[in-house]
Amino acid sequence: SGIKYHVSLPVVVGVLLVGLPYSISLAAQWLYGWPNKPGYKKYIEALKPRIYCLTRATLETLKYLQYGKLYFQFKSWYKNEENRKHYEKGITFGRRGNKLDLYHPPHAGKSEDVSAPLVVFVYGGAWGSGERSTYCLLARQMAEELNATVICPDYCTYPKTNVLGMVQDVADCLVWTQENGQKFNFDKDNIVLIGHSAGAHLCALTTLFLIDAREELFIESSKQQNITLSIRGIILSGVYNIMDHYEHEQKRAIEYVSTMHKAMNGVENFPYYSPTHLLKKLSQDKLNKVPQFALLHGTNDVIVPVESSTKFSDLLTSLSVKASLYLLPRVDHTEMVTDLMASNRRFYHVIYSCIKQEFT
């Protein structure tokens, strides 16, 4: 028995310290894709010490199990036909035939003379996932809390398209708002963009592309100008400097399994897709057209570090762009959206108080 003990102990230690992390590392890369990197020896690379960081990051995803109840709640709500009185479902828009859902304010139809302000909510998903139905409870609550029409559009994600395609989709949604304000009784000239994570990045990037009248949007310059004038403010919690975020991903050893650098078409395009870089290149005339920003960030966010928002706030202020910064104690990355879905969530009132203050 003594010999078996001495033999089994190293085996157990080896399995826990090497076998398990190695298995998790391989599984993560099989699921999310191996890097297209010359000289990358995937099975050997997976044995490097960085696999412990990747293992930790992978195991952190298990905390999403706590949202199981909420998952069934929004799935049930979205499928219940009785809730269709609150919103218009599956409206087609844009060049790629994406769909959007439009949520009515609580007093919709009671005063046809007054058009409701409009919120366009752009969800996140690391530029590689996400769908509008997931955020039905959030959009419904947001319409109630802000007394506004709320639109939640889908957009194509990687690998169907790159970030430029995603920006075009968000811009197409804004084009749709300019053409359909009267039909759905919302104020097309009073739009607030709200985005989370990759959605925050896309909101900021789309707005700056429109202000810069980018030809790659394939939208008439007059339409771009009208949309720019209609955006009154942007409320965000996400990524603004792609290189900074890539370095953060490297520290967590997830840069190869992340869809970010793939969706950006490689590291060389990070400046092109970084709102921070674009802001620095805008002329003063164009900077004057940038709407005010409100940046919300949870201090417990390990997926997107809080420095993402503090640095962006500092940059906006240095360029004389009006910006507000809210650092929310104990809030993590996911809670910034999940806790907007139901009034009994822990940070529901805290987050909405910040959003309401800026929205008003």
10-residue block means of pLDDT along the chain (360 residues)? 55 55 64 60 60 71 85 95 95 98 85 84 96 97 97 97 98 98 96 98 98 97 96 97 96 85 93 97 96 97 97 98 98 97 96 96
N residues, the chain: 360
Name 233's bridge partners: 192, 292
* pLDDT value for 122: 98
Domain definitions of the chain by residue range: 1-66, 80-359
Q: Is 246 helix (H, G, I), strand (E, B) or coil?
A: helix
80-359 has which CATH code? 3.40.50.1820
Structure-token pair, residue 275: 């709102």
Place of tokens 């959003």: 355
| Cα 121 from Cα 141, distance rounded (Å) | 12
* pLDDT value for 207: 98
* pLDDT value for 65: 83
* pLDDT value for 34: 57
* pLDDT value for 62: 75
* pLDDT value for 107: 78
Please give the radius of gyration of the chain, using alpha carbons only, rounded to the nearest integer: 22
- Write out pLDDT tens, residues 249-303: 988 888 877 899 999 999 999 999 999 999 999 999 999 999 999 999 999 999 9
* pLDDT value for 24: 65
Strands (E), the chain: 87-93, 98-103, 116-122, 149-153, 186-197, 231-238, 292-298, 323-328
Q: In what order do the strands lie in the sheet with 116-122?
A: 87-93, 98-103, 149-153, 116-122, 186-197, 231-238, 292-298, 323-328
- Write out pLDDT tens, residues 159-201: 999 999 999 999 999 999 999 999 999 999 999 999 999 999 9
| DSSP code of residue 17 | I
Burial letters for 176-209: b for 16+ Cβ neighbours within 10 Å, e otherwise?
A: bbeebbeebbbbbbbbbbbbbbbbbbbbbbbbbb
Structure-token pair, residue 51: 């696999």
* pLDDT value for 183: 95
* pLDDT value for 111: 58
